């Protein structure tokens, strides 16, 4: 039986572990904290815009277990807010135990508080990874899903500290790039001004600190839009956000709140408390994490990879989530994680690796990001099914649809139906759409 180790327990790592296990591997997941989902614990926006198409593709390909969990844990469904339609908002309070239970049921060995800090290599192969307490874990193939933030010092070096610190680096230690430890140079994302990294585009407020009338409206509708008083409008804030799908004029002119269960997700960063409390209904508002001038820094570490998500320069290392591209979002993490986990098993068994055809949004996103990154300005872009340049591409190329039958037919036509349900077969037929 192939042995696969997944480093990192965010959405990408969970998806990779699940598909690798379903493909017949013995799977160990190493997570440095005491919980799964990483950035998935902050907010929970699914199925908005092109993420609906991607979610239904994943279901048709046999990898829909995690999508089902977020659907079941939804606080609100079919929510619309500026620039976004038919969103599902899952409760970040409820979803993690469900994912943990699923992986355990499927036989994935979960090792919490195991921070990987180094690797042992032999030529181009990773032989084992080493945790902070000096334990060695050997495997045939490894999948890195450590995210893109790098060590916690980056938050101060490139940002203003960490305002959405679900990563909890001070308690559990910083994330380490496995690809870098294996001698492979990572790509670093840039901002429009040429500085490194990106700021997260949102933060969270304690719901109990909202005015009761505002809280009632938020919990009833799922979203609330508060016009920004003229003297508080700051157009320059749009250019520094990682989440390009929210860098729209509506997010400068309005303060938008979403109900994600335990917190009110505020889709605008950098409101000092004194400024925030000038909004009606927010007179006593408090931030759930940190303060109004800080926010987390991301997209500092992306591994070079091919479209099978195998890391270039390594014989047996794969990557997914933000580690595999400047992707934004939970759905994007699940899509890349699922492919990386399956290909890890194929690699271990000496079978050809799979690339998802570009007729599907999953394959097109993975291929497009790799191409765009090498073009002028590519390091300054972020890629998501829900907005920015990639959602525009989906619309222009007719890839965006909410017609579930059409999505299932596309998947079937290119030979990807049930891909993640299958046992570890050597190859998969691919057929181009007419």
Q: How confident is the model at residue 160 (pLDDT cuts 50, 70, 90)?
A: low
d(CA 222, CA 259): 5
19-33, 50-64, 224-238, 358-372: which has the minimum mean pLDDT?
Answer: 224-238
φ, ψ dihedrals at 383, nearest 5°: -125, 125
All residues at 6 or more sequence positions from 315 whose CB lies less than 8 Å from its CB, including other chains? 123, 124, 125
Q: How confident is the model at residue 424 (pLDDT cuts 50, 70, 90)?
A: very low
Q: What pLDDT, on the 0 to 100 scale, is given for residue 29?
A: 98
| Tokens found for residue 41 | 């614990």
CB 316 within 8 A of CB 119: no
Q: What pLDDT, on the 0 to 100 scale, is given for residue 431?
A: 32
65-74, 121-130, 159-168, 388-397: which has the minimum mean pLDDT?
Answer: 159-168
Tell me the pLDDT of the chain averaged across its residues: 88
CB 53 within 8 A of CB 364: no
The residue ranges of every structural domain in the chain are 3-195+297-414, 198-287
Where is pLDDT greater, at 232 or 210?
210
User: Residue 162: is its pLDDT beyond 80?
Assistant: no
All residues at 6 or more sequence positions from 392 whose CB lies less than 8 Å from its CB, including other chains? none
Report the DSSP beta bridge partners of residue 136. Answer: 130
Mean pLDDT of 420-427: 61
Domain at 3-195+297-414: CATH architecture = 3-Layer(bba) Sandwich (3.50)
Q: What pLDDT, on the 0 to 100 scale, is given for residue 40?
A: 80
| Residue owning tokens 């195991």 | 114
CB 330 within 8 A of CB 11: yes
Mean pLDDT of 248-267: 88
Mean pLDDT of 399-423: 94
Instruction: Assign 238 to helix, strand or coil.
Output: helix
In tens, the pLDDT along 269-310 reads: 778 889 999 999 999 999 887 666 666 677 778 899 999 999
Mean pLDDT of 205-224: 95
Q: Chain-centre distance of CA 409, in angstroms?
A: 26
Q: What pLDDT, on the 0 to 100 scale, is given for residue 429?
A: 36
d(CA 90, CA 330): 11
Closest Cα to residue 336, out of 351, 350, 320?
320
Q: What pLDDT, on the 0 to 100 scale, is given for residue 434?
A: 30
CB 13 within 8 A of CB 31: yes
φ, ψ dihedrals at 67, nearest 5°: -60, -40
Give the predicted TM-score (pTM) of the model: 0.88
In tens, the pLDDT along 333-372 reads: 999 999 999 999 999 999 999 999 999 999 999 999 999 9
Closest Cα to residue 120, out of 138, 103, 101, 133?
138
In tens, the pLDDT along 300-336 reads: 788 999 999 999 999 999 999 999 999 989 999 999 9
| Residue owning tokens 């013995």 | 26
d(CA 76, CA 80): 10
Instruction: Assign 133 to helix, strand or coil.
Output: coil
d(CA 242, CA 125): 33
d(CA 248, CA 156): 27
d(CA 268, CA 74): 22
d(CA 349, CA 20): 12
Q: What pLDDT, on the 0 to 100 scale, is given for residue 422?
A: 66
The per-residue DSSP string of 208-219 comes to GGS-HHHHHHHH
| Tokens found for residue 36 | 């799964």
Query: In 278-340, where do the E strands start and end?
Result: 297-298, 317-319
| Tokens found for residue 335 | 């899509």
d(CA 100, CA 352): 31
Where is pLDDT greater, at 194 or 326?
326
d(CA 67, CA 402): 15
d(CA 322, CA 328): 7
Element counts in the chain: helices (H) and strands (E) = 14, 17
φ, ψ dihedrals at 97, nearest 5°: -60, -35
- Parallel, antiparallel or unpaired: strands 3-7 and 141-144: parallel
From edge to edge, which strands make up the β-sheet containing 26-30?
109-111, 26-30, 3-7, 141-144, 317-319
CB 423 within 8 A of CB 24: yes
| Tokens found for residue 197 | 């990294």
């Amino acid at each position: 039986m192939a042995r696969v180790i997944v480093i990192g327990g965010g959405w990408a790592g969970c998806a990779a572990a699940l598909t690798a296990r379903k493909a017949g591997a013995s799977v160990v997941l190493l997570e440095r904290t005491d919980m799964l989902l990483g950035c998935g614990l902050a907010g929970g926006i699914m199925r908005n815009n092109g993420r609906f198409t991607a979610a239904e593709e994943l279901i048709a390909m046999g990898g829909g277990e995690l999508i089902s969990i977020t659907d079941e844990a939804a606080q609100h469904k079919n929510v619309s807010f500026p620039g976004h339609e038919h969103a599902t908002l899952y409760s970040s309070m409820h979803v993690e135990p469900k994912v943990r239970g699923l992986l355990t049921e499927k036989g994935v060995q979960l090792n919490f508080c195991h921070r990987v800090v180094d690797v042992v290599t032999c030529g181009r192969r990773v032989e084992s990874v080493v945790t902070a307490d000096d334990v060695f874990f050997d495997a045939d193939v490894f999948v890195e899903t450590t995210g893109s933030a790098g060590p916690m010092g980056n938050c101060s070096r490139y940002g203003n500290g960490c305002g959405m610190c679900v990563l909890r680096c001070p308690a559990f230690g910083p994330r380490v790039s496995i690809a870098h430890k294996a001698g492979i140079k990572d790509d670093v994302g840039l901002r429009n001004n040429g500085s490194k990294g990106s700021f997260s585009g949102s933060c969270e407020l304690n719901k109990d600190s909202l005015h009761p009338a505002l809280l009632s409206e938020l919990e009833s509708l799922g979203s609330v839009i508060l016009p920004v008083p003229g003297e508080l409008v700051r157009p320059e804030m749009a250019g520094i956000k990682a989440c390009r799908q929210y860098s729209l004029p509506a997010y400068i002119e309005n303060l938008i709140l979403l109900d994600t269960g335990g917190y009110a997700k505020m889709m605008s960063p950098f409101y000092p408390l004194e400024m925030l409390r000038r909004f009606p209904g927010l007179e006593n508002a408090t931030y759930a994490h940190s303060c109004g001038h800080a926010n987390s820094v991301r997209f500092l570490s992306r591994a070079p990879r091919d479209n099978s998500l195998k890391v270039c320069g390594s014989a047996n290392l794969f990557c997914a989530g933000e580690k595999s591209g400047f992707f934004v979002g939970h759905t994007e993490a699940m899509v890349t994680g699922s492919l990386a986990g399956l290909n890890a098993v194929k690699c271990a068994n000496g079978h050809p690796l799979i690339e998802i055809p570009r007729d599907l949004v999953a394959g097109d996103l993975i291929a497009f990001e790799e191409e765009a990154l090498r073009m002028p300005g590519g390091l300054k872009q972020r890629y998501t099914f829900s907005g920015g340049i990639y959602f525009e591409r989906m619309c222009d190329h007719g890839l965006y649809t909410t017609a579930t039958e059409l999505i299932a037919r596309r998947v079937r036509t290119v030979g990807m139906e049930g891909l993640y349900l299958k046992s570890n077969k050597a190859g998969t037929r691919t057929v181009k759409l007419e």
